[in-house]
């Protein structure tokens, strides 16, 4: 399959294998998901008709803990993509050392074309079909692209009804009122920002001089841009699926104002205006393709897979790429970027704050407690900084890129768990 995310994931895995000694049997198992579930979800539409939507859950590996991973609603969701995302979750949880395996789910749908009622019936339908194979000790889903805390609220409610008991730990990323974590909404971004700060320290850079371009303005892109802006970094371009805006004179933009504008006008490109204050002099429109190739110091892809490929890798001008999206860089592009001296902080590290926040939520639900936002930050910050430092040191030791280093660490941890469990159960 051209541009197959799963093939990309396996290529990254194989590249790291030369630096670790693990059993051939374990390698063989890690190349395939443990279980693939494909379901048809009937949904009663508002106009009285019935539509059937295709849903997926891929459970990749649970050697280190229950399967864990988000559910994506997108018209282009396909099994190959869900497999890749489930594989990356397995690796990601091991990179940051949280006790989860990897899984991922999806529904092939454009949620923007559904009413709230249709979306709720679809979300509850996904749970009804997957109920036998998910649960707090088995597989714990969370939000991903075009799903959010509202969707998780419907899902956990449906799960609890089917289970006949209150089961908040069955899903993470829930609304706070039903056991969600104070801080889960921006934990992916928070984690990425801790990693960026650590990298900036290592490279002895000055935050106020760092120009940042962000592709994607959803949960991850928005909060990452906002937190970096608030920390004194310069946000010079932002985009969503329809295009974006770029600063013409290097002027910093405020992501909170851009979000307000987007909510009021429905678009972020075209103008950067709020109320009566218009600033179209300092900003102009930009396409997503132009944003990736524009001059900046840090490029942050925070939308889809396969954005940086062999075709545009040679034209990237950023010195650092921080992958807040999953799988934005194709393997051949990765090699090109490394040769060009561009530092790529891989998704399996950069966006691991999300699943770490989910882990804290799961722990909170299981102990029946409520954590405060400062408790979450106090746990997330050292976790992300230490994970970054370990990956950095491994990269230096083996003279490899940060992605390969992260894989080396994860493969060792997963393999140890698989070997230990085999010993126990033999």
Q: Of the two residues 141 and 168, which places its CB atom closer to ligand NAD in the complex?
A: 141
Residue nearest ligand NAD by beta-carbon distance: 218
Distance CA 89, CA 98 (A): 11
DSSP character string of 125-156: HHHHHHGGG-BTTTEEEEE-TT--HHHHHHHH
Q: Of the two residues 53 and 73, which places its CB atom closer to ligand NAD in the complex?
A: 73
Number of residues that make up the chain: 426
Distance CA 59, CA 79 (A): 12
**Integer angstrom CA distances of residue 184 from 143, 151, 154, 181:** 10, 14, 17, 5
Q: CB of residue 349 vs ligand NAD: minimum separation in angstroms?
A: 11
Grouping H, G, I as helix, E, B as strand and the rest as coil, residue 387 is helix
Q: CB of residue 297 vs ligand NAD: minimum separation in angstroms?
A: 20
- If we measure between CA atoms, which residue out of 226, 410, 230, 209 comes closest to residue 300? 226
Q: CB of residue 292 vs ligand NAD: minimum separation in angstroms?
A: 9
Going by C-beta distance under 8 Å and a sequence separation of 6 or more, which residues neighbour residue 425? none
Residue 381, both tokens: 């910050």
Q: Of the two residues 5 and 418, which places its CB atom closer to ligand NAD in the complex?
A: 5
Distance CA 93, CA 71 (A): 16
Residue 13, both tokens: 């895995």
Q: Of the two residues 124 and 184, which places its CB atom closer to ligand NAD in the complex?
A: 184
- Long-range pairs for 131-138 at CB < 8 Å and ≥24 separation? 131/159, 131/162, 131/163, 133/35, 133/37, 133/57, 133/59, 134/57, 134/159, 134/170, 135/159, 135/163, 135/167, 135/170, 136/66, 136/167, 136/169, 136/170, 136/362, 136/365, 136/366, 137/66, 138/66, 138/67
Q: CB of residue 235 vs ligand NAD: minimum separation in angstroms?
A: 15
Exposed / middle / buried, residue 239 (Cβ in 10 Å: 0-12, 13-18, 19+):
buried
Of 15, 83, 92, 104, the active-site residue reads: 104
- 104 classed as catalytic: yes
CB 20 within 8 A of CB 96: no
Q: Of the two residues 146 and 171, which places its CB atom closer to ligand NAD in the complex?
A: 146
Q: Of the two residues 77 and 400, which places its CB atom closer to ligand NAD in the complex?
A: 77
Q: CB of residue 94 vs ligand NAD: minimum separation in angstroms?
A: 15
Q: Of the two residues 33 and 69, which places its CB atom closer to ligand NAD in the complex?
A: 69
Residue 9, both tokens: 């994931």
Alpha-carbon dihedral 41, 45, 49, 51, rounded to 10 degrees: -30
Going by C-beta distance under 8 Å and a sequence separation of 6 or more, which residues neighbour residue 234? 208, 209, 210, 211, 212, 250, 252
Q: How far is CA 320 from the centre of its chain?
A: 18
CB atoms within 10 A of CB 227: 18
Q: CB of residue 373 vs ligand NAD: minimum separation in angstroms?
A: 16
- Residues contributing to the site for ligand NAD (CB under 6 A): 143-146, 188, 215-221, 239-241, 288, 302-304, 324-326, 351, 354
Q: Of the two residues 59 and 239, which places its CB atom closer to ligand NAD in the complex?
A: 239
Q: CB of residue 169 vs ligand NAD: minimum separation in angstroms?
A: 17
Q: CB of residue 329 vs ligand NAD: minimum separation in angstroms?
A: 12
Catalytic residues: 104
């Amino acid at each position: 399959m051209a541009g197959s995310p799963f093939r990309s994931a396996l290529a990254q895995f194989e590249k790291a294998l030369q630096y670790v000694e693990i059993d051939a049997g374990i390698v063989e198992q890690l190349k395939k998901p443990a279980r693939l579930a494909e379901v048809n979800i009937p949904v009663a539409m508002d106009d009285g008709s019935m539509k059937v939507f295709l849903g997926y859950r891929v459970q990749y590996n649970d050697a280190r803990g229950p399967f864990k991973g988000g559910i994506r609603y997108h018209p282009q969701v396909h099994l190959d993509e869900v497999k890749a995302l489930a594989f990356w979750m397995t690796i990601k949880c091991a990179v940051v050392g949280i006790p989860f395996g990897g899984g991922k789910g999806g529904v092939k749908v454009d949620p923007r074309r559904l009413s709230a009622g249709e979306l709720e019936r679809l979300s509850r339908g996904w749970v009804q079909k997957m109920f036998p194979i998910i649960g707090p000790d088995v597989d714990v889903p969370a939000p991903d692209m075009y799903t959010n805390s509202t969707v998780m609220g419907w899902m956990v409610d449906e799960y609890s009804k089917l289970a006949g008991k209150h089961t908040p730990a069955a899903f993470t990323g829930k609304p706070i009122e039903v056991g969600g974590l104070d801080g889960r909404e921006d934990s992916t971004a928070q984690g990425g920002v801790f990693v960026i700060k650590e990298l900036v320290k290592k490279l002895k850079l000055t935050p106020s001089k760092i120009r940042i371009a962000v592709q994607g303005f959803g949960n991850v892109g928005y909060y990452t841009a906002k937190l970096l802006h608030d920390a004194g970094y310069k946000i010079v371009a932002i985009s969503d699926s329809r295009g974006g805006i770029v600063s013409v004179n290097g002027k910093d933009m405020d992501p909170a104002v851009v979000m307000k504008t987007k909510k009021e006008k429905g678009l972020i490109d075209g103008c950067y205006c709020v109320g009566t204050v218009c600033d179209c002099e300092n900003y102009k429109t930009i396409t997503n393709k132009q944003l990736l190739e524009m001059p900046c110091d840090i490029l942050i892809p925070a939308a889809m897979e396969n954005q940086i490929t062999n075709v545009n890798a040679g034209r990237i001008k950023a010195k650092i790429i921080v992958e807040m999206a999953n799988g934005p860089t194709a393997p051949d592009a990765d090699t090109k970027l490394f040769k060009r001296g561009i530092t790529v902080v891989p998704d399996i590290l950069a966006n691991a704050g999300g699943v770490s926040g989910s882990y804290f939520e799961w722990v909170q639900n299981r102990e029946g407690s409520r954590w405060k936002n400062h408790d979450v930050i106090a746990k997330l910050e050292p976790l992300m900084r230490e994970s970054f430092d370990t990956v950095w040191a491994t990269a230096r030791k083996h003279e490899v890129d940060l992605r390969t280093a992260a894989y080396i660490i994860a493969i060792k941890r997963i393999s140890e768990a698989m070997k230990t469990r085999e010993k126990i159960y033999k």
